[in-house]
């Protein structure tokens, strides 16, 4: 019998959630002596990207992958373009978690379950089994505050949030401009908003919330700008053309992870699972790639990418596409001061022109403002390094929870 405390971690289907929760699980095992079962939601449709991630990860001995029984999901839910990504994830998760009780019992009822923000159905199962339940938030503390505040906002405001004349005041946070709201919160009649409200209103039921952040946040070296839009981002053909010209006109070295453009006319979108290149692009990059891409990072502002950039001390050019990324972009530019955001021309709502792209790339790589931003992000890099050390507050915070689990382990 394993004498260590046993914790189950339950991510959702999205790679942007699975990757940080897998790293969280590894940290619990390696640094805090916890036995972890990573529960995987599976369907009748295989996920090559998920399989590749898990097969390429070096898992410590006390971290075990436990696939939940695969569920038969209606082909319409998976393939219908009218079913949006969040709805698809939530419906599949709802189907999958019907087996959670039997899986937790088979595992000997772990000492705690750490679940995803879109898997709060687990609260009810764990309450019945007397298992404390925690939530892992894969984005910023500011967005965590927005999640917790959304039910009150929904109750207090009668109109669409996007129609409010003033920014939204979330306690403890900078005001949120309505045009920075995530798409799912712009129309309160759609299913995606209803899923948001359902799960976010249940978050206070958790025994605790983990936030993937730290206190101080919220060619030759530094000569290459790295351009990528995360595991789910792609651009329209017109925007991709403008970006290519802008990067070329900037006369800066760059590495761009290019994907097939979307047919839509907007500046960006989110593609369906399975359409991305499943191969790791880093396989094809030259030796020393990370060392040379310290110059800058043109990022979609997914929180995982933001943290990776700051931890490596790399300034950002922000290009938000979906989810909470517009809010992240505003925070990075205005509150934290580690990024520059390109502007659209007057009267243009969807395309950032090549001249503006050239301007911001030159600014972050060569300009005085870029030097100020680079200095600030280097400060946060040092702060992040300290946080990950055994004397850092993030390490100590996780230690407190791990020690609590150990003290209450029978």
212-236, pLDDT tens digit by residue? 988 888 744 555 777 776 656 667 7
**pLDDT, average across residues 60-78:** 83
Q: Are residues 208 and 228 both part of a single domain?
A: no
**What residue spans of 182-313 are helical by DSSP H?**
191-202, 237-250, 289-292, 303-311
Is residue 241 pLDDT above 90, yes or no? no
| Cβ-count burial 366-405 (b if 16+ within 10 Å, e if not) | eeeebeebbebbeebbebbeebeeeebebbeebeebbebb
Q: Are residues 205 and 243 both part of a single domain?
A: no
Q: Are residues 201 and 229 both part of a single domain?
A: no
Gap between the Cα atoms of 334 and 152, Å rounded: 26
**pLDDT, average across residues 379-386:** 92
Gap between the Cα atoms of 265 and 292, Å rounded: 33
Tens digit of each residue's pLDDT (9 = 90 or more) over 121-150: 999 999 999 999 999 999 999 999 999 999
How sure is the predictor about 118, in pLDDT bands with cuts at 50, 70 and 90?
Answer: very high
Is 230 inside any structural domain? Answer: yes
Tens digit of each residue's pLDDT (9 = 90 or more) over 102-117: 999 999 999 999 999 9
- Of the two residues 295 and 43, the one the predictor is more confident about is 43
Q: Check if 116 is active-site.
A: yes
Q: Are residues 32 and 58 both part of a single domain?
A: yes
Q: Are residues 296 and 208 both part of a single domain?
A: no
Owning domain of residue 379: 224-387
Give the pLDDT confidence score for residue 176 in this predicted structure: 92
Please tell me the least confidently modeled range out of 209-213, 277-281, 389-393: 277-281
Gap between the Cα atoms of 287 and 332, Å rounded: 30
Q: Are residues 134 and 266 both part of a single domain?
A: no
Tens digit of each residue's pLDDT (9 = 90 or more) over 177-197: 999 999 899 999 999 999 999
Q: Are residues 160 and 264 both part of a single domain?
A: no
Which pair of tokens denotes residue 159? 């109109």
Closest alpha carbon to 228 in 247, 251, 206: 247
Q: Are residues 273 and 346 both part of a single domain?
A: yes
Q: Are residues 52 and 111 both part of a single domain?
A: yes
Determine which one of 17, 32, 35, 300 is catalytic: 17
319 in Cβ contact with 300 (< 8 Å): yes
Give the pLDDT confidence score for residue 391 in this predicted structure: 80
Query: Final residue of a domain: which of 212, 232, 254?
Result: 212
Summary mean pLDDT of the chain: 84
Is 355 inside any structural domain? Answer: yes
Q: What percent of the chain has pLDDT over 70?
A: 85
Give the pLDDT confidence score for residue 289 in this predicted structure: 46
- Of the two residues 277 and 116, the one the predictor is more confident about is 116
Q: Which residues contact 227 (CB under 8 A, 6 or more apart)?
A: 243, 247, 254, 255, 256, 257, 297, 298
How sure is the predictor about 98, in pLDDT bands with cuts at 50, 70 and 90?
Answer: very high
- Of the two residues 114 and 48, the one the predictor is more confident about is 114
Tokens 């925690």 identify what position? 134
Give the pLDDT confidence score for residue 265 in this predicted structure: 47
How sure is the predictor about 15, in pLDDT bands with cuts at 50, 70 and 90?
Answer: confident
* Sign of torsion over alpha carbons 168, 171, 175, 181: negative
Give the pLDDT confidence score for residue 347 in this predicted structure: 66
H and E: helices and strands count for the chain: 15, 13
Is 399 inside any structural domain? Answer: no
**pLDDT, average across residues 290-307:** 77
Is 107 inside any structural domain? Answer: yes
How sure is the predictor about 1, in pLDDT bands with cuts at 50, 70 and 90?
Answer: very low
**pLDDT, average across residues 58-65:** 93
Is 404 inside any structural domain? Answer: no
CATH of the domain at 29: 3.40.50.2000
Q: Are residues 75 and 197 both part of a single domain?
A: yes
- Of the two residues 265 and 374, the one the predictor is more confident about is 374
Query: Final residue of a domain: which of 181, 212, 243?
Result: 212
Is 54 inside any structural domain? Answer: yes
Q: Check if 17 is active-site.
A: yes
Is residue 277 pLDDT above 50, yes or no? no
Q: Are residues 51 and 189 both part of a single domain?
A: yes
Is 410 inside any structural domain? Answer: no
Determine which one of 6, 32, 35, 116 is catalytic: 116
| Cβ-count burial 266-281 (b if 16+ within 10 Å, e if not) | ebbbbeebeebeeeee
Q: Are residues 208 and 76 both part of a single domain?
A: yes
**pLDDT, average across residues 336-359:** 84
Number of domains composing the chain: 2
Tens digit of each residue's pLDDT (9 = 90 or more) over 316-342: 989 888 889 999 999 999 999 999 999
Is 394 inside any structural domain? Answer: no
């Amino acid at each position: 019998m394993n004498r260590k405390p046993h914790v189950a971690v339950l991510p959702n289907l999205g790679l942007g959630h699975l990757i940080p929760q897998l790293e969280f699980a590894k940290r619990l095992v390696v640094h805090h002596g916890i036995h972890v079962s990573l529960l995987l939601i599976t369907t009748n449709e295989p996920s090559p990207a998920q399989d590749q991630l898990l097969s390429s990860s070096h898992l410590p001995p006390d971290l075990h992958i436990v696939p939940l029984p695969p569920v038969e999901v209606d082909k319409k839910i998976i393939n219908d373009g009218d079913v949006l990504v969040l709805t698809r994830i939530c419906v599949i998760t709802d189907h999958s978690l019907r087996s959670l009780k039997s899986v937790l019992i088979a595992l000997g009822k772990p000492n705690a379950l750490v679940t995803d923000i879109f898997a709060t159905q687990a609260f009810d199962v764990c309450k019945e089994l007397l298992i404390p339940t925690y939530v892992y938030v894969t984005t910023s503390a500011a967005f965590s505050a927005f999640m917790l505040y959304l039910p009150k906002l929904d109750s207090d405001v009668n109109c669409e949030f996007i129609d409010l004349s003033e920014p939204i005041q979330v306690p403890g946070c900078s005001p949120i401009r309505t045009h920075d709201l995530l798409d799912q919160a712009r129309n309160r009649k759609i299913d995606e908003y209803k899923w948001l409200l359902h799960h976010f209103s249940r978050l206070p039921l958790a025994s605790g919330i983990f936030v993937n952040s730290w206190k101080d946040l919220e060619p030759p070296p530094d000569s290459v700008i790295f351009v990528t839009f995360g595991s789910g981002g792609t651009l329209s053909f017109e925007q991709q053309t403008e970006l290519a010209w802008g990067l070329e006109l900037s006369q800066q070295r760059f590495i761009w992870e290019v994907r097939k453009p979307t047919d839509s006319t907007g500046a960006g979108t989110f593609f369906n699972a399975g359409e991305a290149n499943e191969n790791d692009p880093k396989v094809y990059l030259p030796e020393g790639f990370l060392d040379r891409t310290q110059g800058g990072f043109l990022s979609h502002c997914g929180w995982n990418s933001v943290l990776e950039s700051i931890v490596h001390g790399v300034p950002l050019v922000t290009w938000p596409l979906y989810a909470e990324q517009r809010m992240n972009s505003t925070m990075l530019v205005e509150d934290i001061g580690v990024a520059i955001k390109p502007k659209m021309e007057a009267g243009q709502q969807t395309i950032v022109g090549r001249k503006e792209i050239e301007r911001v790339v030159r600014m972050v790589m060569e300009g005085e403002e870029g030097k100020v931003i680079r200095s600030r992000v280097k400060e946060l890099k040092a702060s992040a390094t300290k946080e990950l050390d055994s004397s850092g507050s993030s390490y100590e915070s996780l230690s407190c929870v791990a020690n609590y689990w150990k003290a209450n382990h029978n």
